[in-house]
Amino acid sequence: RALGIQSQGHLSELLRGKNKHSRNSSAQHWAKEIRNFLSLTPKERQDAISIYGQAQTSKKRKSSKRTVWSKEQNMMLENFFRQKPSPTKPERQLLASQCGVEVGVINTYFQNKRRRSRHLQPL
């Protein structure tokens, strides 16, 4: 309390539904979930935990592979960047089709290139 943090109540109070923050529906929801979990048999608890773990791992975002540019692609993008650091949408679509990648990859290339060029310029 000295740090300004208010307690949400003891776990036993939450489980019994005697929470002084009764308007906090999130606390009530979790208290109900905990009560339901504790009412399960040990085997059912293990099954519930494994199902929960599988659901959590399936929610993880899959990282995309890093794009490695060929010399020709890199030269084409470098030349275009020198002429126009911020291409329009049709130009980005054209570059994407010429390079054989998605438009988002071209967007990222130009964003990174602009940032690097600003970073390398003397003040």
What would the pLDDT profile of 71-121 be if each residue is shown by its tens digit? 999 999 999 999 999 999 999 999 999 999 999 999 999 999 999 988 877
Average pLDDT over every residue of 20-36: 73
This prediction's pTM: 0.49
List the Cα angle 29/33/35 in 5-degree steps: 115
Assigned token pair, 17:
């539904």
117 and 85 Cβ atoms separated by less than 8 Å: yes
State yes or no: pLDDT of 56 exceeds 80.
no
Give tens-digit pLDDT for 57-66: 666 667 778 8
- The reported pLDDT for the residue numbered 3 is 45
Q: CA 5, 10, 11 angle in degrees (round to 5)?
A: 125
- pLDDT (0 to 100) of residue 2: 45
pLDDT bin (cut points 50, 70, 90) of residue 4 is very low
pLDDT band (50, 70, 90) for residue 24: low
* pLDDT attached to residue 28: 78
Give, in degrees to the nearest 5, the angle at Cα 121 between 67 and 102.
20
